[in-house]
């Protein structure tokens, strides 16, 4: 790709803005190359299967036709649901990330064709919402899909939610290609919002019903430096819980203000409440504002909410949102197994929020949560092949009926509401951008993945290479190769599971408190290990070819939940490394729900290359042998019983 001098100068300038906002800056996706291994296979599946599959479904279900009809390029009517265009934008975002991973001229041209449709559907003043452009304004609750006028029905219409995903797609596309075509569409809409919504006389007072625009406006501000975008994001956040816009709420489902995180102003909120996806998008935006504006009251609220969400309302897989009604957080410690909702979209939001908290604080606990969600709650949402998905991610299943819709409990190639497949499509290709980070002259390694990056430390280019069989093996080889000898601190995250902490807080604990061993060698010499705030901090003068090997012992661990969690009383779960395990009926004579574990039962790891894309299974011997597989891999061999929590005997 040939970037113009203007683009290079502009992009480099924006990196300075990023560094000034958060104390820590992620090493950009474009500078990290994933090598063959666990995550390489999944990124290739996303590039070759998930994204093409998603585009096919988008075309097949008429979502692209909506843009063409709205833009006057063809005759027809609106197909689908009011927020369907957000799914189109999310897949475009994911496709743009794949272009940064591995450039594909055919995909580049295809995105150009889609952008032509988006631009055609945009109204002259910048407004873009295909269902209203096609149907015009409508009245009555039966027509709540559009509403009587622009933004009057925002809590149900998703007008702002849709364009938020447009902005994120536009930024990703611009960074991948240097083209302004989609970015211009996004900026035109953002300028329309700034002119239309706000506190000034003649402007509308509107609060997004589904929080996404706030995140996206902050991103657009960070890219362009246009402060009015940041101001509008702040306005949207500040207007929550204020009665002077109450008349705008006309909700056909009577969900109420808690569902929208609108019961009280954000600085007074202390609990994770309401729709779990909307909530975490709001919390991520609040974290952005706390970082950029050094806002302590907002940060204090975020920390209290995170504590509640993580230490009282999170499944062992990292899934959140236990309640089907409202796709919402439930009360503390209410974490049912078979009725666990744990939407895949909520896992994505959890990842985005926790990564921001790490960038703000440098604390490893946020990346511990990130890793748990990544390998379990999120990865479980997509099949091994990459073309079928889970909307909900329960902790148990009878293999016959799904609790939410009465259909057989199996993955689906698409849904009537497609937010989860499109979120998988957009997040997976972005993963390389979460592995490394920089703070002043410190380099963080937060995730273990076969990868390579080049960073500049003390004005010296340094190449970092990771090689491992993680998550199946705890030995990680890291090669540091500066252009010349250079001193800088290298911080390597030691996962919580390796220090007897399944997750922050006391929601879960290991039955046996024997700490696994942690071993470090540098150039073959054993080096004393000191873990400080979750990191090994190694300050030395690095020379080309320096090799570190971090070896984390991976025993099979038994986990119990806080006794306040009624659904898991008398039960335990099994983990190894970052992987939560489950039993499937297909491996256990058709039964998984009645499996029990005993005090003298031990599990032996066994890697099976040909099973489920290559996994380490856990096998126990004895009168009742049990085989466990990674939770993320369940339901790839058809509908069958599944359980994460097992009855315990003699524990």
Closest CA to 612 of 411, 419, 397, 369: 411
HSE-up (13 A, CA, CB side) for residue 108: 14
Q: How far apart are CA 584 and CA 644, in angstroms?
A: 9
Determine contact, residues 466/445, Cβ cutoff 8 Å.
yes
- Give the DSSP H/E element, type plus range, for residue 213: helix 213-224
Within this chain, do residues 609 and 589 fall inside the same structural domain, yes or no? yes
Residue 383 domain-assigned?
no
Dihedral sign, CA of 100, 106, 111, 112? positive
Determine contact, residues 261/279, Cβ cutoff 8 Å.
yes
Within this chain, do residues 598 and 564 fall inside the same structural domain, yes or no? yes
Q: How far apart are CA 577 and CA 458, in angstroms?
A: 35
| Beta partners for residue 541, in sequence order | 487
HSE-up (13 A, CA, CB side) for residue 545: 1
Would residue 327 show up in a list of annotated catalytic residues for this protein?
yes
518-522 sheet: strands from edge to edge: 32-34, 451-457, 460-468, 475-482, 546-552, 518-522, 525-527
Determine contact, residues 38/375, Cβ cutoff 8 Å.
no
Contacts for 48 with CB less than 8 Å, ≥ 6 apart: 386
CA distances from 104 to 40, 54, 171, 421, 578 (A): 17, 17, 18, 22, 33
Within this chain, do residues 466 and 571 fall inside the same structural domain, yes or no? no
Within this chain, do residues 445 and 527 fall inside the same structural domain, yes or no? yes
Closest CA to 237 of 268, 274, 207: 207
Q: Is 198 helix (H, G, I), strand (E, B) or coil?
A: coil
Residue 543 domain-assigned?
yes
pLDDT recorded at residue 249: 43
* Per-residue pLDDT tens digits for 109-137: 999 999 999 999 999 999 999 999 998 88
The residue written with tokens 């889609």 in the block is: 114
Within this chain, do residues 620 and 522 fall inside the same structural domain, yes or no? no
Q: Which domain holds residue 617?
A: 556-649
Contacts for 438 with CB less than 8 Å, ≥ 6 apart: 24, 25, 27, 444, 455
- Vertex 288, ends 284 and 292: CA angle to 5°? 170
Residue 401 domain-assigned?
no
CATH of the domain at 533: 2.60.420
Q: How far apart are CA 492 and CA 534, in angstroms?
A: 8
Residue 608 domain-assigned?
yes
Residue 347 domain-assigned?
no
pTM for this prediction: 0.94
Residue 214 domain-assigned?
no
Within this chain, do residues 445 and 529 fall inside the same structural domain, yes or no? yes
Within this chain, do residues 589 and 568 fall inside the same structural domain, yes or no? yes
Q: Is the peptide bond before 471 cis (omega within 30 degrees of 0)?
A: yes
Contacts for 407 with CB less than 8 Å, ≥ 6 apart: 401
Q: Is 488 helix (H, G, I), strand (E, B) or coil?
A: strand
How many domains does the structure of the chain reveal?
2
* Residue 369: how many other CB atoms lie within 10 Å: 25
Determine contact, residues 271/308, Cβ cutoff 8 Å.
yes
Q: Which of 345, 419, 420, 582 is catalytic?
A: 419
Task: Give the chain's residues under pLDDT 50.
Answer: 1-19, 140-143, 244-252, 651
**Are β-strands 646-649 and 596-598 bridged in parallel, bridged antiparallel, or unpaired?**
parallel
Closest CA to 382 of 340, 420, 433, 350: 420
Domain finish residue from 534, 552, 570: 552
Domain finish residue from 506, 529, 552: 552
Would residue 420 show up in a list of annotated catalytic residues for this protein?
no
Tokens of 59: 């075309």
Q: Is 601 helix (H, G, I), strand (E, B) or coil?
A: coil
Tokens of 74: 């063809």
Q: Which of 159, 168, 327, 558 is catalytic?
A: 327
Within this chain, do residues 622 and 539 fall inside the same structural domain, yes or no? no
Residue 541 domain-assigned?
yes
Within this chain, do residues 542 and 567 fall inside the same structural domain, yes or no? no
* Residue 500: how many other CB atoms lie within 10 Å: 14
Determine contact, residues 120/76, Cβ cutoff 8 Å.
no
**514-540 b/e (C-beta count within 10 Å ≥ 16 → b):** eebebebebeeeebeeeeeebbbebee
Within this chain, do residues 606 and 563 fall inside the same structural domain, yes or no? yes
Within this chain, do residues 565 and 540 fall inside the same structural domain, yes or no? no
Residue 92 domain-assigned?
no
Within this chain, do residues 580 and 625 fall inside the same structural domain, yes or no? yes
CA distances from 39 to 370, 468, 483, 558, 609 (A): 15, 11, 28, 26, 15
Q: Is 401 helix (H, G, I), strand (E, B) or coil?
A: coil
């Amino acid at each position: 790709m040939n970037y113009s001098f203007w683009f290079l100068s502009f992009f480099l300038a924006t990196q300075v803005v990023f560094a000034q906002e958060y104390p820590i800056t992620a090493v950009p996706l474009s500078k990290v190359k994933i090598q063959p291994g666990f995550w390489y296979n999944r990124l290739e599946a996303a590039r070759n299967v998930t994204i093409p599959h998603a585009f096919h479904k988008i075309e097949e279900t008429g979502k692209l036709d909506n843009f063409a009809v709205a833009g006057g390029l063809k005759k027809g009517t609106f197909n689908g649901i009011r927020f369907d265009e957000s799914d189109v934008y999310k897949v475009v975002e994911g496709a743009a990330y794949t272009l940064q991973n591995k450039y594909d001229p055919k995909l580049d041209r295809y995105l150009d064709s889609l952008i032509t449709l988006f631009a055609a559907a945009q109204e002259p003043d910048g407004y873009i919402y295909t269902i209203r452009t096609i149907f015009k304004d409508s009245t009555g609750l039966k027509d709540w899909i559009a509403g009587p006028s622009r933004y009057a029905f925002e809590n149900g219409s998703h007008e702002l939610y849709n364009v938020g995903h447009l902005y994120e797609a536009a930024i990703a596309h611009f960074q991948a290609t240097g083209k302004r075509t989609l970015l211009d569409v996004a900026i035109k809409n953002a300028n329309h919002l700034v002119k239309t919504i706000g506190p000034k006389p003649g402007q509308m007072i509107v609060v997004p019903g589904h929080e996404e625009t706030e995140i996206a406006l902050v991103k657009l501000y960070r890219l362009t430096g246009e402060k009015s975008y940041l101001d509008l994001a702040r306005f949207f956040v500040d207007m929550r819980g204020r009665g002077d816009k109450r008349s705008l709420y006309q909700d056909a489902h009577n969900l109420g203000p808690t569902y929208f995180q609108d019961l009280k102003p954000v600085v007074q909120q202390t609990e994770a409440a309401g729709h779990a996806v909307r909530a975490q998008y709001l919390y991520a935006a609040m974290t952005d504002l706390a970082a950029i504006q050094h806002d302590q009251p907002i940060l204090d609220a975020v920390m209290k909410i995170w504590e509640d969400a993580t230490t009282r309302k999170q499944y062992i897989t990292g899934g959140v949102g236990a309640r089907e009604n409202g796709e919402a957080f439930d009360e503390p410690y209410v974490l049912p197994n078979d009725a666990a909702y744990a939407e895949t979209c909520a896992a994505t939001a959890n990842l985005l929020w926790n990564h921001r908290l790490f960038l703000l604080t440098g604390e490893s606990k946020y990346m511990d949560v990130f890793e748990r969600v990544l390998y379990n709650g999120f990865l479980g949402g997509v099949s091994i092949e990459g073309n079928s998905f889970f909307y909900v991610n329960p902790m148990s299943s009878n293999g016959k009926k799904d609790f939410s819709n009465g259909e057989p409990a199996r993955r689906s190639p698409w849904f009537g509401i497609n937010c989860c497949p499109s979120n998988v499509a957009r997040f997976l290709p972005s993963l390389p951008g979460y592995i490394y980070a920089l703070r002043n002259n410190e380099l963080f390694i937060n995730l273990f993945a076969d990868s390579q990056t080049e960073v500049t430390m003390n004005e010296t280019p340094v190449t970092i290479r990771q090689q491992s069989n993680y998550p199946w093996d705890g030995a990680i080889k890291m090669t540091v190769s500066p252009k010349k000898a250079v001193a800088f601190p290298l911080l390597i995250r030691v996962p919580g599971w390796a220090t007897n902490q399944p997750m922050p807080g006391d929601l879960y604990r290991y039955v046996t408190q024997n700490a696994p061993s942690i071993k470090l060698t540098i150039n073959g010499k054993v080096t004393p290990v000191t873990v400080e705030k979750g990191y090994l901090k190694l300050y030395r003068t690095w020379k080309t070819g320096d090799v570190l090997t971090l070896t984390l012992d991976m025993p099979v661990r038994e986990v119990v939940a806080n006794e306040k969690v009624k659904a898991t009383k008398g039960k335990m779960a099994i983990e190894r490394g970052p992987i939560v395990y489950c039993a499937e009926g297909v491996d256990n004579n058709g039964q998984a729900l009645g499996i029990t574990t005993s005090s003298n039962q031990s599990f032996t790891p066994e890697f099976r290359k040909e099973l489920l894309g290559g996994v380490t299974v856990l096998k126990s011997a004895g009168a009742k042998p049990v085989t466990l597989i990674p939770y993320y891999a369940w339901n790839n061999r058809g509908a069958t019983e599944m359980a994460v929590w097992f009855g315990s005997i003699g524990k």
